[in-house]
Structure formats: C-alpha cells, structure tokens
Chain A
Amino acid sequence: MPIEIPRRLHDRMVEHARAEAPNEACGVLAGVEGKAVEIFPMTNAEASPTIYRFDEREQLRVFDEVERSGWDLLAFFHSHTHTEAYPSPTDIRDAHWKDPVSGEATPAYPGTRYVIVSLAHGSPDVRAFTFESGEPVEEEVRIT
C-alpha cells in the first residue's frame, strides 16, 4: 500500500530531522486511509546518532491524541543522518515484538509503516517500509 504525505508534512519531517542532526530524529505521522493528516515530531529518548526511541510519556500523549482524533498510526518516522534510507538490523529488530512464551517475533505495530529520512546526501531521501517475515518490504511514498 503506497502512502501519501502532503508536501507541508514532508517538509516538517525533514526540518525536524535536520534540527536534530547529528542525532537521529523521530516522530509519528497520523493518517486516514493511507494519507498523512498530521505530524508529531518527537524526542529521541536515546539522543543518539545511531538509534532512536520514543520518550514514553510523549508516546502516550501522541497515541492518545491520534486515537481521540480518529486517526491511524500511519507511520513512525526516524532519520538516518549518515546512512541510506533503509532499515538497519536494529530498526528491523525494534519493529518486532518477540512473544516471551512462543518466542515468535511479529510486527510490533501491524499496519504502521516505518518511514526513514536519510540526510546522508545533499537532498533528503524519504522511503517507507513494512515488514514481512522479518524482512523489509518497501512501500511507495507519494509526496503530494
């Protein structure tokens, strides 16, 4: 399923990524039927150039607002400041929840895309992924 990101939200996402560099930036794109309608730039609680994690209180607040507004968690975005816009092994692991009883790993947020904004080259590169059997599956991003 392609996702549609209006130019205005795309630009705010890139702006957040640049503001946080060299650390990774992160946040949530809320959407309706595959189209982003709001952006929540968030704090990278790890404050790291190689990993990110939502601050839990902020996460709770954002999830509540998304739910109250009747939106979906369309995508989680984060930036790669020095590498390509492709999921790292850590990104893949963090996108999965391992059931402690069965040991089976399943997507932690089924239906939510993982958008990566790469600042490694001159112009930002924005790509989206979901995961199937632990492997990244690229989804088309339409900037409108």
Chain B
Amino acid sequence: MTFTEDQVRRYARHILLPHIGGEGQRKLTEASAVVIGAGGLGSPAAMYLAAAGVGRIGLVDFDAVDVSNLQRQLLHDTSDVGRPKVESGRDRLLALNPTIEVETYRTPLTSANAFDILGPYDVVVDGTDNFPVRYLANDASQMLGKPLIYGSIYQFEGQASVFLPGEGNPCYRCLFPEPPPPGTVPNCAEAGVFGVLPGIVGSIQATEAIKVITGAGEPLVGRLLTFDALAMEFTTVKLRWDPDCPVCGKVPTVTELIDYDAFCGLAPGEAPPEAERAPEVPA
C-alpha cells in the first residue's frame, strides 16, 4: 500500500538513499526484530531500528533500571530508575516512532521460552550481558533458522558479527564451542565498561540488522569485527564454518536448548534478589 504522509516524510532520507530507497524502506516497515537485553547494546540497537521504522520490535529483559545503567543505556532516563527496563524501553521507542509496534517480555530468556519469544520475529539482536543467554540466543536462532546479530563488549573492546543460519555460514559456537566454566570470567560488576562503547557496538548491530532486512551491502556474515576504543581501531577477521560445530556442524550434538550455569552471580531463569543484584554490565 501507499505510504502515509507521515511515513513518506519520516523516512524521506532513507527513501532518497541508494541501496535502501522506497523498496528497502518498505521492507523495514514490514519487518520485525527482537532485541534480547534492553541494556547497553540493546539501547542503540532498538532505538535505531525503531527510528528506521522496523514495524514490530520485541524487547526482552527481566531487569529494572538502576542508576548505574544510565551511564550508557540510553533507552532509560533518570526518572525511569526502578521501572522495568522493557517498559521504559517501550516508552522511548514509541516516543521516537509512534507508528511501530513494540512488544515487551519482562522475563529472562530461558530454554523454556526462547522459541516462543524469538519465533515470531524475522531477526534476533543479541544484546545480552552473559554467556548462558548468549549461547541460548545462538542455539535458538540457529534452530529457528533466523539471523542473529551478535555484539558483545568488555571494558574498552567490542565485537560484532552476523550469524546467518545455513549455506556453510559460521555461528557463535563455531568460534567458541562451549561456554567458559562459571567463575573463570571476571565478575561483571567489577570489570566496568566504557559508557560509549555499547553505543558504538549496538549501533553496528542496528546497521547489520538493517542490512540483513533490506539486503543492502555485505553483512558481517563469516566475519568478526573487533573494536578497540583506546586504540580507536577496527579490525575484521574471517570466520569459518566448523563442520564439527555442536549446533550447525554436519552432526549436531546440541539439538535442544540448554540453560548453562550463570555468571555475574545470576542463575539463568531467575532474577537475583534485589540486594544481591550486580549492576548490569554487558559482557
């Protein structure tokens, strides 16, 4: 159908743009994306996808806004402290673009709900801050055949890639077949994070999601982008599909979803008691 006047004006700069144009903008409008984690990475990812007019956006996060989040999680305001992140996140996205639909899931992503939550979306954006959910998101996306837009950060360094199921493309487990054992990764609250970093990596994830949806350019499939904020350097390394990958290899050994033991003092499937909750720092 013909765009409304609001749509044609709102998306004018995309409509005029080579590689996107009216056709790409229509694909965005008809597309859906689910963002796991309404935190540092999820904030810019979800905000740019909303601004770009992705028609339906899902936000998954069990947590509430903490004042220590505000240094980097731009979905939330000072006045949102204490509110569920998915609620303040939805408010922000709809304020940016009231013509889209925002679905919220105030729950941890687990093996029990991952297929139900991710299933109704075209693209999955990984804005998680811990390994158990990262593996869950990877495995579920592979099993559902959905593109996973991966991003992660640690202190001043970040990574991003696109795991597109099929055609000999690698997935996260081709890189790291199994999660590191609990206790071997520094406590997230102690590690700290450079506030701008998730803004950059999450924006790269939004870029890749938009490219996958519209077909523009070459998405980061089979490539891992790494970013060092202190050196201000981007590097890209090639990733290869591992025929022995436990999820996407020739003979998969992981054939159902797994809840791994958690890091950051957080067991999967349950929110920690308020007093024990570590400030969320995306890994």
Q: CB within 8 Å of B: which residues of A?
A: 45, 52-57, 59-60, 63, 73, 76, 93-94, 97, 100-101, 108-109
- Asked if A101 contacts B94 (CB within 8 A), the reply is yes
- Asked if B1 contacts A53 (CB within 8 A), the reply is yes
- Asked if B101 contacts A101 (CB within 8 A), the reply is yes
The 8 closest A-B pairs by CB, nearest first: A56-B22, A100-B101, A94-B1, A56-B15, A54-B2, A108-B4, A53-B2, A59-B8
Q: Complex Cα distance A93/B16, Å?
A: 26
- Asked if B2 contacts A57 (CB within 8 A), the reply is no
Shortest distance between the CB of A126 and any CB in chain B (Å): 20
- Asked if B22 contacts A57 (CB within 8 A), the reply is yes
- CB-CB under 8 A for A93 and B1, given A57-B15, A59-B8: yes
Which chain A residues border B15 with CB–CB below 8 Å? Answer: 56-57, 60
Chain B window 47-88, contacts with chain A (Cβ cutoff 8 Å), 1 for yes, 0 for no: 000000001100000000000000000000000000000000
Could you say which of A45, A56, A93, A100 contacts B8, with CB atoms under 8 Å apart?
A: A56
Q: Complex Cα distance A97/B7, Å?
A: 11
- Asked if B21 contacts A54 (CB within 8 A), the reply is no
Could you say which of B3, B56, B94, B99 contacts A59, with CB atoms under 8 Å apart?
A: B3
- Asked if B21 contacts A57 (CB within 8 A), the reply is yes
- Asked if A109 contacts B5 (CB within 8 A), the reply is yes
- Asked if B22 contacts A76 (CB within 8 A), the reply is no
> B138 contacts the other chain (Cβ, under 8 Å)?
no
- Asked if A56 contacts B25 (CB within 8 A), the reply is yes
- For the complex with contacts A56-B22, A94-B2, 5 further pairs of A-B residues with Cβ separation under 8 Å are A59-B22, A60-B9, A63-B9, A100-B56, A108-B2
Q: Complex Cα distance A144/B1, Å?
A: 31
Q: Complex Cα distance A34/B9, Å?
A: 24
Which chain B residues border A73 with CB–CB below 8 Å? Answer: 5
Shortest distance between the CB of B9 and any CB in chain A (Å): 8
